[in-house]
A and B are shown apart, each in its own frame.
Chain A
Amino acid sequence: MDLYRDLILDHYRNPRNFGHLDKPDVAVEDHNVSCGDRMVMEIKFKVKSLKSKAAIEDIRFSGEGCAISQASASMLTEKAKTLAAEKILVLTLEDIVEMLGTTLTPSRVKCALLPLEVLQKAMIKV
């Protein structure tokens, strides 16, 4: 029972930052067509004039997907709140794997990565 560790199951059952923001500065949606996953990220920034300083004030995600994509989104949104924009933009698969604390088989990589892809798209939209 490696993939469905307690931590992942906890974030899957009780996702953090799930839902919508009142007036987000950006909202980005993307899909994983082959899995049928859909992920939306809504962000409100503290300062949005200076791109690199666009720290996140609040963030929400929504959509449907497997436990891995949902847990990944939940953990990532928590982490993102603590990071500067430039840090978020350079996050990679390795960071996601480390965050999830598990190994991913090739077929699950794209599930785990979807939230990061959506988040990074949102960040460059600022």
Chain B
Amino acid sequence: MADVIKDFPLLKRKINGKPIVYLDSAATSLKPQSVIDAQDDYYRRYSANVHRGIYAISEEATEAYENARKKVAGFIHAPSVNEIIFTRGTTESINLVAAGIGKTLIAGDNVVVTIMEHHSNFVPWQQRAVGKNVEFRILNIDKNGKLNLNDLDTVITRRTRVLAITAVSNVLGTINPIRDIVKSVRRISPHCLVVVDAAQAVPHMVVDVQTWGADFVVFSGHKMLGPTGIGVLWGKTELLEQLHPYQYGGEMIAEVHVDRTIFKKPPQKFEAGTPHIAGAIGLGTAIDYLQSIGMDNVRAHEKEITGYTLKQLSAIVGLQIYGPKTAEDRGGVIALTVKDVHPHDIAQVLNEDNICIRAGNHCAMPLHEHLGLVATVRASFYLYTTREDIDALVEGLEKVKRLLSK
């Protein structure tokens, strides 16, 4: 994939004369020139509001915005474009769903999340459960960082109303078998809604929401080469029709009278106010870019890089890797610790060579507590990650050890 590098302006930048080794794509991805240009073009040439004006540039903006929605629908194989709701990102998408479903939870119900969830797919559910006599249940992992699927039968009950689950862990890299899990859940609790956090999946592999069979799927634009501030909620039409609106305002209204309001149908029902028009257009362009490469190729590249990294890192004494052992079972995310060295120090020393990795709990504190850790460092990859980046990481980690091992 060496030829994609030229498409990412940030990779041309140098700090203190040295290039940037960007290994934090799980936090946010770099942006290709075409995405930057698409947003720029909107602001320069047709920056009108959508769904409002009769004049040419407003029609143009509306068409570009709705066209982006179509691209998203195609990208995740949604049966209808009206099932695509633009949000601010994964976090807002989950909160939107949780707010709507939360209203319908009653005493005796339970909601289930996994221990590997990002806070944004953990806390909204936990907070809906507390104080309501709704049980908040956890699906745990085994020592290889895979979900204990044998426990599904005990954790999920007929009173389980929601299973909130990530498709790919942003720490362990574990790829969860969503399709099989949804099938099992349906068997145990036919009315349980399955909400899939696909923030680390949609950017990196082919996702087909119909194959998964889940009820809601959410992700962020900025992790898939798109702009920040735009994300997606996909939901089944009949569920979106039942779900309560999240915010009220312009754009989402069919009729307002002094005594009542009739909302538009989805997706407009959930898009109150002027949306992030440039963001949606940028996201559409990011999808064009990914499709020009092919998601199978993106996945194959990341698998190759992940396998290479696992192999190179295994040679470093005192280094511990968390999560599944093989690249086959994991996305391009590797969390690790170095014996006796605090993760912040690792990140800081690597920064001296412009190696960007993240240190902390990666918004997955329950998972870290489960692992008995306060923090890890995490390297994460994308289609522009090269073996040279990994070599720089390995060399950097050796330097960390030389400098800071006691």
Establish whether residues B345 and A66, one from each chain, have CB atoms under 8 Å apart when the complex forms: yes
Q: Is the CB of B406 closer than 8 A to any CB of chain A?
A: yes
Contacts of A111 in B (CB 8 A): 344
Q: Which of B342, B352, B373, B406 contacts A66 (CB 8 A)?
A: B342
Q: Is the CB of A13 closer than 8 A to any CB of chain B?
A: yes
Docked complex Cα distance between A36 and B348 (Å): 16
Contacts of B349 in A (CB 8 A): 4
Report the minimal beta-carbon distance from B185 to chain A, rounded to whole angstroms.
34
Fill in one digit per residue for B338-355: 1 if any A CB lies within 8 Å of its CB, else 0: 000011110011001000
Establish whether residues A4 and B403, one from each chain, have CB atoms under 8 Å apart when the complex forms: yes
Establish whether residues B344 and A35, one from each chain, have CB atoms under 8 Å apart when the complex forms: yes
The contact size tier of chain B is: 10 to 19
Docked complex Cα distance between A37 and B344 (Å): 10
Establish whether residues B404 and A67, one from each chain, have CB atoms under 8 Å apart when the complex forms: yes
Establish whether residues A3 and B348, one from each chain, have CB atoms under 8 Å apart when the complex forms: yes
Q: Is the CB of A49 closer than 8 A to any CB of chain B?
A: no
Q: Which one of A1, A9, A34, A66 has the highest number of Cβ atoms from chain B below 10 Å of its Cβ? A: A66
> Can you name the residue of chain A whose Cβ is closest to the Cβ of B400?
A4
Report the minimal beta-carbon distance from B125 to chain A, rounded to whole angstroms.
21
Q: Is the CB of B107 closer than 8 A to any CB of chain A?
A: no
Docked complex Cα distance between A9 and B349 (Å): 13
Establish whether residues B342 and A67, one from each chain, have CB atoms under 8 Å apart when the complex forms: yes
With known contacts A1-B352, A66-B344, A36–B374 Cβ distance under 8 A? yes
Q: Is the CB of A45 closer than 8 A to any CB of chain B?
A: no
A85-126 CB contacts (< 8 Å) to partner B:
108, 111
Contacts of A4 in B (CB 8 A): 345, 348-349, 403-404
Establish whether residues A12 and B360, one from each chain, have CB atoms under 8 Å apart when the complex forms: no
Q: Is the CB of B361 closer than 8 A to any CB of chain A?
A: yes
With known contacts A9-B403, A65-B342, A66-B342, A35–B375 Cβ distance under 8 A? yes
> Can you name the residue of chain B whose Cβ is closest to the Cβ of A34?
B360
Q: Which of A1, A36, A67, A108 contacts B375 (CB 8 A)?
A: A36
Establish whether residues B345 and A67, one from each chain, have CB atoms under 8 Å apart when the complex forms: yes
Contacts of A35 in B (CB 8 A): 342, 344, 360, 374-375
Contacts of A9 in B (CB 8 A): 403-404
29 pairs, A vs B, C-beta closer than 8 Å: A4-B345, A4-B348, A4-B349, A4-B403, A9-B404, A34-B360, A34-B361, A35-B342, A35-B344, A35-B360, A35-B374, A35-B375, A36-B360, A36-B361, A36-B374, A37-B342, A64-B342, A64-B374, A65-B342, A66-B342, A66-B343, A66-B345, A66-B348, A67-B342, A68-B344, A68-B348, A108-B344, A108-B348, A111-B344
- 10 closest Cβ pairs, A-B complex: A36-B374, A66-B342, A66-B344, A36-B375, A67-B345, A66-B345, A13-B406, A35-B344, A4-B403, A3-B348
* A-B contacts besides A9-B404, A13-B406, 9 pairs, CB < 8 Å: A4-B349, A35-B342, A35-B344, A37-B342, A64-B342, A66-B343, A66-B344, A68-B344, A108-B348
